Amino acid sequence: MAGDGRVAALRLSSPRLELHATDPVFASQALAFFERNREHFAPWDPPTPEGFYTLRAQTERLTRGQQQFGAGEAYRYWLFLRDDPSQIVGQIHFSSVVRGAFHSALLGYGIDARVEGRGLMHEAVSAGIAEMFSPRVQLHRIQAAHLPENRRSATVLARIGFEREGLARKYLFINGAWRDHVINGLVNEALETLPS
């Protein structure tokens, strides 16, 4: 069972960031973000589909994402610096939302190479998780996976409270081969019963 239409906030804030729910109006900024960071993301992300680096593809992607957000099936937020909101500097997304007895999602994220190492991803993920665990969305569990050598991701997740749960062998196809990933989980301890 996918998302049940629970409405998440369209805008979140952290001390240095504004997080905006996915919207096709951000297509050109999203394209610029991905183009600017193509080499930066290559070692960590699955290959992009044909035509990904086009305005049309990004518009279609963001339109689908907006529909999924509204239906409670996935929640993607684009990150903007509060003191310079002219361009996207990152994204976080809670995908594969499953309700029923699960109430869970998968977490993914990416930060612009130019602002990496400043703690911005910690801020963004913390704000996103607060929303996902809020009475509006009521997720019970969030899972995040990272390559074993991705120390930055491991640090972000550990600081937030994710616990390492194990190693998934040949989990994703990245950079020309099937790669193992460390699986991490975070449980919403405040959600003691199954949401109605």
pLDDT < 70 stretches in the chain: 1-5
Q: Is residue 27 part of a domain?
A: yes
Domain that holds residue 94: 11-187
- pLDDT attached to residue 1: 47
pLDDT of residue 7: 83
Average pLDDT of the chain is 94
Report the predicted TM-score, pTM, of the whole model to 2 decimal places.
0.93
Residues 3-6: contacts with CB under 8 Å, at least 24 apart: 3/68, 3/71, 3/72, 3/73, 3/74, 3/97, 3/99, 4/72, 4/99, 5/70, 5/71, 5/72, 6/72, 6/136, 6/137, 6/138
Q: Does 125 fall in a domain? A: yes
Residue 2 domain-assigned?
A: no
In a domain, 43, yes or no: yes
**Are residues 132 and 9 in contact, defined by beta-carbon separation less than 8 angstroms?**
no
Report the CATH number at residue 166: 3.40.630.30
C-alpha separations of 55 from 20, 29, 30, 42, 82 in Å: 19, 9, 9, 20, 25
Give the total number of structural domains in the chain: 1
Please report the pLDDT score of residue 5 as a whole number: 62
